[in-house]
Amino acid sequence: MRNNIFLIGALVLMAALLLPTVMPGMAGAGPLEDAIQKAPQGTGKGQVDPKAEAGYLGIPGGLKINPVVAFLWAVWVGWVFSTVGAFGGIMAGVGHISVFGLGTYAKTFKDTAPALNKFITDSVRVSNQWLVGLSALVSSINYAKQKRLVIPLGISLGVGSLLAAFLVAYTTMGKIKFSEYQGYFGLIVFIIGGFMVYEMTPKGQAKKKAAKEAVKAFEAAVKQKGDLSAQGVTTTKFNMARTEISFFGQTFGFSPVWAFVGGFFISAISSFIGVGGGFLYVPFLTSVVGLPMFVAAGTSALAVLISMVLSIFNFMIKGVTVDWLLIIVELVGIFIGSMIGPRTGKYIPEKALKYFFILLAVWVGLDYILQGFFNIKMLGS
């Protein structure tokens, strides 16, 4: 009952805060109009052709994104995030930057119209967050039903993230060039990939006996098609000094205070690059807290949900907008992918999920570091 109250409260908070952000964006942002007017007119790169048909964000002659590709990629993003509790924002960013071509398009304005370059950068950051926010909402509900979500821990992380999300939005909006954004995006992802490699080594696995035992019991129950919720997450102790939960016969404990601190720093990094932070929450939950991946995914989703609410609100209330037609198409795909993820992820071994996580981090991280800081594209990117 207590867990349901926590979840309902989080969802109500999201609805209350996100609803007002739609109106400023749909009304047509003044900063965007100013940036378009200041851009040089013409048909060349880095120019705006006032006679051409509107493209991305309503920019005359702007990039046009195939809605079918956007939908299919969004399904993939929703599946990834809801399966591992992370990398949804990274994949959303890869879609907007590389698959849809917004990275190349934004860079054409780097020297000719820097204000427009930075506005597109902020728009991509917020677009990523809209996708991750919906996926986190759907995933949180599904994982809660399966009792694979530590709600007190997710709330502690999420509340800690609120202040950081507020500070980052108000200190970086309109100040980051797309190349800088892409470079830092890649650097942070690459570092996390390296940390995950360490976690797979014998030394990194040494303190995870309880998590290993829980994983074995969970995977055995899946094979036997047993009742997973019967041995799912149950809060056995709850106070500000230490909270304990049980999962498939194993006990895990954490300090809500330290979870709050961890949520602050994780949100500061993730809000800067415009993602949910699951790629940081999951290593924190598996390595620092010691939770098995099957529980970390759902708990990460709830923490991301809370942080996304305030981050989206902060960016959009200050004038950043998104391409609403594109976002609506993507949100439909996100919903479908997020419904599939929790239902298929339980059949994938934990090691396979981690190796998948590492490969994504190394590939995306290295590629974006080279492109953002050195203007070098990896083979096939």
Structure confidence at residue 13 (pLDDT):
45
Q: Is the pLDDT of residue 3 over 50?
A: no
The confidence score (pLDDT) of residue 65 equals: 95
**Residue 317: its pLDDT value, please?**
84
86's tokens: 């992370």
- The tens digit of pLDDT for each residue in 271-298 reads 777 676 777 887 788 878 888 878 888 8
**Distance of alpha carbon 125 from alpha carbon 122, whole angstroms:** 5
What would the mean pLDDT of 67-88 be, rounded to a whole number? Answer: 86
State the pLDDT at residue 350: 65
Mean pLDDT across 361-365: 81
List alpha helices for the chain, DSSP H.
2-26, 30-38, 67-84, 88-94, 102-107, 114-145, 151-172, 178-199, 202-205, 209-223, 256-273, 278-283, 293-317, 324-344, 350-374
Closest among 43, 99, 110, 113 to 67, alpha carbons compared: 99
Q: Given pLDDT bands bounded at 50, 70 and 90, which one contains residue 86?
A: low
pLDDT of 380 higher than 60: no
Percentage of residues in the chain having pLDDT higher than 70: 87
Dihedral angle sign, alpha carbons of residues 141, 142, 144, 149: negative
Determine the number of helices (DSSP H) and then strands (DSSP E) in the chain.
15, 3
Q: What is the spatial distance between Cα 94 and Cα 115, in angstroms, rounded to a whole number?
A: 22
pLDDT at position 231: 83
Q: What is the pLDDT of residues 182-198, one digit of tens each?
A: 888 788 878 777 777 77
- Predicted confidence (pLDDT) per residue in 313-352, tens digit: 888 888 888 999 999 999 999 999 988 887 787 677 767 7
Domain boundaries, the chain: 2-26+66-374
Among the residue ranges 48-52, 72-76, 358-362, the one predicted with the least confidence is 358-362
